[in-house]
């Protein structure tokens, strides 16, 4: 993990996993 990844996790963003799952939240654990 790089600093850019940690910074991106702090701000609200939509994370798309390789499985095709989409997570909305301020953290990877947020659903």
Q: How far is 9 from 12, CA to CA, in rounded Å?
A: 7
Q: How far is 24 from 18, CA to CA, in rounded Å?
A: 15
| C-alpha separations of 22 from 3, 7, 9, 17 in Å | 22, 19, 14, 7
Q: How far is 14 from 7, CA to CA, in rounded Å?
A: 14
- Per DSSP, helices labelled H in 1-31 are 3-10
- The verdict on pTM exceeding 0.75 is no
pLDDT tens profile 1-31: 566 555 555 555 666 666 666 666 555 554 4
Q: Quick one: how far is CA 17 from the chain centroid?
A: 9
| pLDDT for the residue 30 | 47
């Amino acid at each position: 993990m790089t600093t850019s990844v940690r910074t991106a996790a702090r701000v609200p963003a939509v994370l798309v996993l390789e499985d095709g799952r989409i997570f909305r939240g301020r953290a990877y654990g947020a659903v």
